[in-house]
Structure formats: C-alpha cells, structure tokens
Copies of this chain bind each other. A is one copy, B any other.
C-alpha cells in the first residue's frame, strides 16, 4: 500500500458532505441551499423544509473555512490570559471563566481561552494571538492589561471588538472592572473603622494599573488618620505573601494585613499561624475577590467582593453586540463596579 493509497483511504473516510451534495440530493441549486443555511426569507416554506430535512439526514455542517474565507463570522471570542511568568491562571480566573462560559451560550458566542503576553505579543503563527489576526476569532476579552498595551493598539487600528477586564490607563478603552481606587480606599477605611492601627497592604505587580489604583485609594484612606501603614508591592503569589508576612510579623506591632487577593491571603494566614498568633485577635486579615476558598479558611476571611458574574455579563455584552453588528456603536464603554466589604471572621 502506497502513501497515496492511505491518503485516499483517509480522505474517503473523512468525506465531508458539502453544500453541493445537499443541492444535488434535494434537487435545488447551491444558492437555494445557501439561502436556507443563512435563514434568508425568500425561500418557499416547502422548499426550505425539504432542504432542511436533507441537511439533517446527512448531518450537514457548513464549512467554517469556506464561510470565513468569504468574510463570515465564526462567533468565537477568545479570552486572553496573561502569561504571568508562565503561571497563567490563578484562582479568580476559575470563577470569571465559569461565568464567561455560561453567559457566552446565552449570547450565542463560543468562548475559547488562550495565553497571551502583554509584553511580547507576536504576529507569528506559533502564537495564539493569530486567532485574532486571522479572523478565526471575532472578538477578544483581555484579562488584565498594562500601560500602552500593544494589543489594545492593535485592536483599535484593526477595528476588532474587544474589552479589557481591568483598568486601562486610557478611558477610551472599553473596559470592565472593579473601581480599584475604591477597593483600596474602602478596605483601608474599613480597617481603620475597626480600630486597627498598624496596617500592612500587600499588592501585586504595579505594572498592572489596577494595582496602582488600589494603592492610591488605600493611601488616601489612611493619610491624616492616626495610623501606621506600609505598602508591599510585587507580592505576586501565595508564596511571596507568605514569606513577606513571615519576615515582618512581630515587628512594628502589626495588627492587620490587607491583602489584595484572597489567594495571596492564604499565604499570610499561614505566616500568622506559624508565628503562633491568632486571627483576628492578634492580627486581622482582609482579602479581596471573595473566592469560595475564603469561606473555608480558618477563620473565614473577610474580603472585598468582586461580582464576577456581573463582570462576565458586562464584558460579553460589550463585545457580542459589536461582533453581531459591525455598525453597532457602544453607548457606554467603561464600567466601574463598586466594591463591597464582606465581613466574616478574620477582622
């Protein structure tokens, strides 16, 4: 058996039935079948029914490549997650993706998740970014963005529907986010109100603007209050949160940690426990995100809620309309949700 034989055999096995086949089988022209596929009105009801039956009987599926070549939509939306030093996903992604997956079905879009770097996006075809440059996906949800994100520029110039989850530097960029200034401010204010006097704020990388805003808000809440505080940036993981907390516990009479992210707070919990201290009696902890796991920590963590369901819906609505209708004009393109404190037992 030659290579060619094998190829032929495979091809026959995979024989896709095309619009041509349906035309032949139904006795109508290709164009009429096409009309039925695309729900055009000018087809006699009887004809439509017949053709639909033939398509169903043969499990016909219109070829996406052919459609795409003619400029059609795939209705695929890609969610880009930052590569983050190759760590990619964290716990809050799980929740957001869950709602994104669910809601995508109701707006008739398909969601696909792929990694992408804000720092080094490339147009070459080893990168998932070319799902976009090729038109394979019709819209983008950018999870996290940095200042002057080159991807944003790309979407703008190429007119590709997109939205960023996070706070971009530029208010003309479509985006959905907690009001991060308020996250910092409310968290700080809450801890002060609770009577804490030495508050350590742990937050991630300041290349992400959201973090910068949290810091500003936090500082504004604490200035001119009779309170000591310190901000630790680049606390990018549970591990770093743990080791940083471990190092400073005991010094400076710390009585509260405000940790940007419940996931990181797990590390802080551990450092406190190891020091033989009690939460909240000796040291309080306030997190952000309201992750499920927070309720199961001991004690359950007080946190700033992030309404991921709402966020998912806003993100998808923002782009789904543009994907469906190129002329669609966004009336409102930036959403800032108000953060709320969820008080549990750690404060």
Contact = CB atoms under 8 A, between A and B. Distances in A.
A97 B89 contact: yes
A78 B123 CA distance: 20
Interface stretch (A167-175, A202-210, A227-235, A291-299): A291-299
A85 B267 CA distance: 30
Contacts of A93: 89, 94
A87 B98 CA distance: 6
A326 B292 CA distance: 44
A280 to B, nearest CB: 15
A273 interface: yes
Interface stretch (A110-118, A142-150, A176-184, A214-222): A110-118
Interface string A284-304: 000000001100111000000
Contacts of A89: 89, 93-94, 97-98
Interface stretch (A44-52, A57-65, A250-258, A332-340): A57-65
B112 A3 contact: no
How many copies are assembled? Answer: 2
A86 interface: yes
Contact of A327 (B3, B13, B75): B3
Interface string A262-296: 00001101100110000000000000000011001
Size range of the interface on A?
Answer: 35 or more
Contacts of A341: none
Contacts of A6: 326-327
Contacts of A112: 78, 112-114, 128, 131
A125 B327 contact: no
A126 B158 CA distance: 26
A112 B131 CA distance: 10
B327 A266 contact: no
A14 interface: yes
A112 to B, nearest CB: 5
A94 B86 contact: no
Given A89-B97, A101-B115, A242-B296, A65 B69 contact: yes
A68 interface: yes
A269 B293 contact: no
A113 B293 CA distance: 23
Interface string A82-115: 0100111111011001100110010010111111
A123 B17 CA distance: 14
Nearest to A101: B115
B94 A91 contact: yes
Contact of A270 (B63, B94, B298, B327): B298
20 contacts: A13-B159, A14-B159, A61-B130, A64-B65, A65-B136, A75-B125, A76-B131, A78-B112, A88-B98, A88-B101, A89-B89, A93-B94, A94-B94, A110-B114, A110-B126, A112-B112, A136-B136, A238-B296, A239-B292, A266-B297
